[in-house]
């Protein structure tokens, strides 16, 4: 296990690994995304209460799930960078924040579009939407902090500390927003009651969640590879790798 961590920390090894992984991931992500979208948009039956608007769930929920998981991945990378001073963990953190923010943004906007036919308003201060908005702020904070430092090593360390603080806070934020919502909940706005999701809708949803995880990994690896190309531009290993 440790040998993998050591290898992961070496830029030449990681560059080769990323190249291979990207070549594998790209077709997998494309196929799962297309199959999942066709399944969710055309094949799955409509929801008996919300009609066809519920089809947004197949992108909204995966984006939200992966965006939240992404913050934990970023914090893990931060911990690795702080404790073991692994350079690649710094690179990973810088690559993870914008991808996570983009997915959070997708979850927010699709949720808002979904809200219009369901609740009759573009924006409702629902507990989950509010938590996602705060998650977006947390991501933007990490990105802004990383931009603000001139010294790259210090920037990575500061972002690692911030993302760890955020990780401790996220469960508290989610729980508190939940309580806040139940305290203020207006009677007219109610999300569909908890009902077991039918298999005809569950399978495409699961497929889309897999697709979004793949997409997340793919775009993070792409960003990390690009950054390696920038930072190791003068290195001999990169030159021999490319020739």
Partner 1 sequence: MYFETWSAVWHMEGHGPYVWGAYSLTALVIVLLVLSPWVRARELTQDIRNEQRRAAAASALGADHASET
Partner 2 sequence: MLPELGTFLRFQLQRHLQLALRRPSDVVGPLLFFLMVITLFPIGLGPDPKVLAVLSPGILWVVALLSSLVVSGRLFQADFEDGTLEQMVLSPHPLALSAMVEVFCHWLLSGVLLALVSPVFAALLNMPSRAIPVLMVSLLIGTLCLSLIGAVGAALTVALRRGGVLLSLLSIPLTVPVLIFGAAAVREAALGYDPSSWLALLGALAAGGCVLAPLAIAAGLRISLEA
> Closest separation between CB of residue 25 and partner 2, Å?
31
Select from 20, 180, 192, 198 the one that contacts partner 2 (CB under 8 A).
180
Is residue 107 within 8 A of residue 243, CB to CB? The reply is no
Please enumerate in sequence order all residues whose Cβ is within 8 A of that of 159, keeping only pairs 6 or more positions apart, or say none.
78, 93, 94, 97, 142, 145, 146
Q: What is the C-alpha separation between 228 and 49, in angstroms, rounded? A: 50
Q: What are phi and psi of 47, to 5 degrees?
A: -75, 140
Nearer to partner 2, 178 or 241 (CB): 178
Which two tokens mark 11? Answer: 């830029």
Nearer to partner 2, 49 or 175 (CB): 175
Regarding 79 and contact with partner 2 (CB under 8 A), the answer is no
CA 178 to the chain's CA centroid: 21
Contact pattern for partner 2 over residues 144 through 163, marking x by CB under 8 A: xx--xxxx-xxx-xx--xx-
Regarding 173 and contact with partner 2 (CB under 8 A), the answer is yes
Tell me the chain's radius of gyration from C-alpha atoms: 20
Residue 8 binds which of partner 1, partner 2, none (CB < 5-8 A, kind-dependent): none
Residue 84 binds which of partner 2, partner 1, none (CB < 5-8 A, kind-dependent): none
Binding site for partner 1 (CB under 8 A): 33, 37, 41-46, 51-53, 55-56, 59-60, 63, 99, 102, 105-106, 109-110, 113-114, 116-117, 215, 218-219, 222-223, 225-226, 229-230, 233, 238-239, 242-243
Q: What is the C-alpha separation between 108 and 59, in angstroms, rounded? A: 11
Helix axes of 152-184 and 87-119: crossing angle, nearest 10 degrees: 30
Regarding 172 and contact with partner 2 (CB under 8 A), the answer is yes
> Closest separation between CB of residue 71 and partner 1, Å?
17
Is residue 136 within 8 A of residue 108, CB to CB? The reply is yes
104-143: contacts with partner 2 (CB under 8 A) = 134, 137-138, 140-141
């Amino acid at each position: 296990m440790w040998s993998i961590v050591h290898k992961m920390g070496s830029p030449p090894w990681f560059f080769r690994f990323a190249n291979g992984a990207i070549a594998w991931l790209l077709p997998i992500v494309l196929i799962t995304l297309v199959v999942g979208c066709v399944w969710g948009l055309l094949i799955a039956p409509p929801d008996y209460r919300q009609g066809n608007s519920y089809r947004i769930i197949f992108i909204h929920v995966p984006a939200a799930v992966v965006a939240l998981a992404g913050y934990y991945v970023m914090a893990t990378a931060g911990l690795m960078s702080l404790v073991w001073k692994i350079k690649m963990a710094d690179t990973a953190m810088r690559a993870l924040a914008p991808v996570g923010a983009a997915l959070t943004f997708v979850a927010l906007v699709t949720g808002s579009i979904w809200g219009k036919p369901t609740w009759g308003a573009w924006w409702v201060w629902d507990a989950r939407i509010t938590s996602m908005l705060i998650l977006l702020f947390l991501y933007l904070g990490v990105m802004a902090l990383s931009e603000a430092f001139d010294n790259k090593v210090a920037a990575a360390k500061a972002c690692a500390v911030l993302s760890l603080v955020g990780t401790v806070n996220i469960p508290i934020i989610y729980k508190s927003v939940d309580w806040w919502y139940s305290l203020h909940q207006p009677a007219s706005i109610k999300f569909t009651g908890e009902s077991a999701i039918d298999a005809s809708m569950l399978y495409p949803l699961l497929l889309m969640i897999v697709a979004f995880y793949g997409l997340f990994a793919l775009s993070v690896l792409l960003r990390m590879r690009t950054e390696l190309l920038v930072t190791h531009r003068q290195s001999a290993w990169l030159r021999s790798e490319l020739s």
